[in-house]
Structure 1
Amino acid sequence: MEIVIPNRLSILGHPQRLALFRLLMRRYPDRVPATELARALDLRPNTLSTYVSALMQAGLVTQERAGTSLRYAIHMDAARETFDYLLRDCCRGRPDICSPLTSFDLYGDGPMTDRKYHVLFICTGNSARSIFAESILRKEAGDRFVAYSAGTRARSELNPFALEVLRQKGHDVSVLEAKNLSVFQGDDAPAFDFVFTVCNQAANEDCPAWSGQPVSAHWGMPDPVKVEGSAAEKSLAFHQAYGALLNRIKVFTALPIASLDRIALQKAVDDIAQTEEGASA
């Protein structure tokens, strides 16, 4: 251990290897294709391979072959072991220093019945998938959740196919607008209990940390905006995206949140995406 941990820290001391490690941490428990990692970090394939090999030799990353594709994921036990080593001596006599690092408060000061959960869905453009998720949660469980959505690079208008699907499903589209993520990062922004990314590109981006440490997960799914073909084919893609999000949100709203600790709750929201075929496409 005395040799392994310093070696891991040395590996992570390289800025681009650290960026790769952090990206895979954000995507955990996803196994991310090498091509997507290279694109997200703007690395050449041979350079990425070198960085991944170093992280694998340090035990921080695992590799899996899916057909002709290589996919990578964080070795979470090794990551925890490394973090534990760094924090082991931190609180001896100085809990005031470590408590912000080692404690998380999902429920705030009051009991669960006194307030609603605040949930943010993030996509790149905030024109379709995240708008679907916001609308669905508001309709399915608006009495228990306050739903928001935003984009890391929000477009100026909502996708017309998305709006048509929402109208057909009985949603009020007059309350919807495309917003940039910065809207929710000021001092007067809501304190979120949950933050979900619904597209891989948004999940891969290095977003600022959220205050209050909300439970977060990646519910990646194909982008219906990118589907080409006839109007009917495009409409079908939007209906499929809506249906996939509806299924996930129904499972989410059925969770016994008040009776789950943070670890169990994190696993539950991660599993919502993992149990659905093609969730990380």
Structure 2
Amino acid sequence: MESMLIDRLSTLSHPQRMGVFRLLMRRCPDALPAGEIAQALDLKASTASVYLSALTQAGLISQRRDGTRLLYAVNLDATREVVSDLFLDCCRGRADLCPPQFAGLLEGIAPASGPKFTVLFLCTGNSARSILAETILRDMAGDRFTAYSAGTAHRSELNPFAVEMLRSKGHDVSPLRSKNLAEFQGPDAPKMDFVFTVCDRAANEDCPTWRGHPVSGHWGMADPVKAEGTEAEKRLAFHQTYGALHNRISAFTSLSFEALDRAALQKHVDAIGKDISTQE
């Protein structure tokens, strides 16, 4: 057991192998193709293959074939074993040795500040998907949630089709503006309870650790901004994105937050992102 731990720690000691591992942890429970991993980390395909092979051999990630593609996902059992081995005495009368965020996994969740939960929707540009999600949650359950959205790109503008879609659904668009992620990372920024990425690129980026360790989820979907064709076809793409987000947010707001611990809540959040019934 000790030799396995040393082997796994040695594998993770390489900065770029650790980068691959951290990317797959961020995207858990998703399985990613090697090409997306290489692109996200700016690696040559051959280099990414070497790192993925080493992590697979150490048992830290798993590999499966999907047609002609190889998909990779983090091996949570192995990851838990590494943590367990490092904190062997944590559950033997020394809970004080366990990092606070681990000890809190079996606790319930309550708003970090104020009477409402705070939710941030992230995308590369804060122009369409994240803006739609912010507005839907605000108007669907604004009595229980404070909704925000932001983009990881430095500059963005509200997409006119997104604004038009929201107006057609009866939403007030006057409060909306495009915002950058940096606005929510300063010492005076609101403390988040939930952070959801709604595009793969934002999910793959290595963002700074959030204060308070909010529950996070990836609800990736196709970018309606990239839809081609007539204006009617482009509007249809925005309609489908709106519908998918509306279904997911409806499922999210229906959860029994007071009855779920953080681990159970995380499973529900992941399931919402995967459930085909929440997609248009």
Structure 1 length normalisation: TM-score? 0.92
**1:27 partner amino acid:** R
Q: Which residue is 2:258 aligned to?
A: 258
- How far apart are 1:35 and its partner, in Å? 1.3
**1:153 partner amino acid:** A
Cα distance 1:234–1:73, how it changes in 2: closer, same or farther (>3 A)?
same
Moved over 6 A (4+): 90-94
Q: Distance in 2 between matches of 1:99 and 1:83?
A: 10
2:174 alignment partner, SS class: helix
- The answer to whether 1:241 aligns with 2:244 is no
Q: Which residue is 1:199 aligned to?
A: 199
1:63 alignment partner, SS class: strand
Q: Any unmatched runs of 5+ in structure 1?
A: none
Q: Which residue is 2:31 aligned to?
A: 31
Q: Distance in 2 between matches of 1:189 and 1:14?
A: 34
Q: Distance in 1 between matches of 2:112 and 2:128?
A: 35
- How far apart are 1:65 and its partner, in Å? 1.5
**2:152 partner amino acid:** T
Q: Any unmatched runs of 5+ in structure 2?
A: none
2:138 alignment partner, SS class: helix
- How far apart are 1:73 and its partner, in Å? 0.5
**1:169 partner amino acid:** K
- How far apart are 1:262 and its partner, in Å? 0.8
Aligned residues: 276
Are 2:111 and 2:117, in contact at CA under 8 Å, matched by a contact in 1?
no
**1:3 partner amino acid:** S
Q: Distance in 2 between matches of 1:137 and 1:232?
A: 26
Cα offsets for 1:72-110 (capped at 9, x unmatched): 110111111111111224688876564434333732689
Cα offsets for 1:174-222 (capped at 9, x unmatched): 1011100010111111111111011000010000011111111111111
Q: Which residue is 1:210 aligned to?
A: 210
Cα offsets for 1:141-191 (capped at 9, x unmatched): 111111000011153420011111111111111101110001011111111
- The answer to whether 1:128 aligns with 2:128 is yes
- The answer to whether 1:219 aligns with 2:244 is no
Q: Distance in 1 between matches of 2:239 and 2:117?
A: 27
Q: Distance in 1 between matches of 2:277 and 2:66?
A: 14
Instruction: Provide the aligned C-alpha RMSD in A.
Output: 2.0
Are 1:33 and 1:71, in contact at CA under 8 Å, matched by a contact in 2?
yes
Are 1:123 and 1:129, in contact at CA under 8 Å, matched by a contact in 2?
yes
**1:215 partner amino acid:** V
Q: Which residue is 2:187 aligned to?
A: 187
Structure 2 length normalisation: TM-score? 0.93
- The answer to whether 1:58 aligns with 2:58 is yes
Q: Which residue is 2:41 aligned to?
A: 41
Which shows bigger deviation, 80-89 or 236-245?
80-89
Q: Distance in 2 between matches of 1:109 and 1:57?
A: 40
- How far apart are 1:129 and its partner, in Å? 0.5
**2:136 partner amino acid:** I
Cα distance 1:94–1:263, how it changes in 2: closer, same or farther (>3 A)?
closer
Q: Which residue is 1:72 aligned to?
A: 72
Q: Distance in 1 between matches of 2:38 and 2:203?
A: 14
1:121 alignment partner, SS class: strand
Percent sequence identity is 62
Q: Which residue is 1:155 aligned to?
A: 155
- The answer to whether 1:85 aligns with 2:85 is yes
Q: Which residue is 2:110 aligned to?
A: 107
Cα offsets for 1:213-264 (capped at 9, x unmatched): 1111111111111122221121111111111111100100000111001110
1:3 alignment partner, SS class: helix
2:233 alignment partner, SS class: helix
